Amino acid sequence: MKMTLALFEDLIDASVDWAAATRAVFVRAGDLTITDYQGAQHALSAVDCRLFIGPIHIEGSGELWTFEVRATEITAFTAADQARCILAHTIELDPQSPFVMRADRVEFPAGMETPRHGHKAAGIRRLYRGRLVAEIGDELRRIAEGDAWFETGRDPVVGRNVAPTSAFVRVMVLPIALHGQPTFIAWDALESAKPRGTVRTEYFDTVVRLA
Q: Which of 44, 67, 91 is the last residue of a domain?
A: 91
CATH code assigned at 199: 2.60.120.10
Q: What is the pTM of this model?
A: 0.96
Other Cβ atoms closer than 10 A to 164: 12
Does 105 lie in the same domain as 155? yes
Residue 211, pLDDT score:
79
Burial (Cβ within 10 Å: 0-12, 13-18, ≥19) of residue 208: middle
Strand order in the sheet with 148-151: 148-151, 122-129, 166-174, 99-108, 199-208
For 88-116, the pLDDT digits (tens) are: 999 999 999 999 999 999 999 999 999 99
Q: What is the pLDDT of residues 147-161, one digit of tens each?
A: 999 999 999 999 999
The domain boundary, picked from 91, 115, 146, lies at 91
Q: Are residues 115 and 65 in the same domain?
A: no
What residue numbers bound the domain in which 10 lies? 3-91
Do residue 138 and residue 47 come from a single domain?
Answer: no
Last residue of a domain, one of 75, 91, 107: 91
Span 37-57, mean pLDDT? 97
| 103 and 200 housed in the same domain | yes
Partnered with residue 53 across adjacent β-strands are: 22
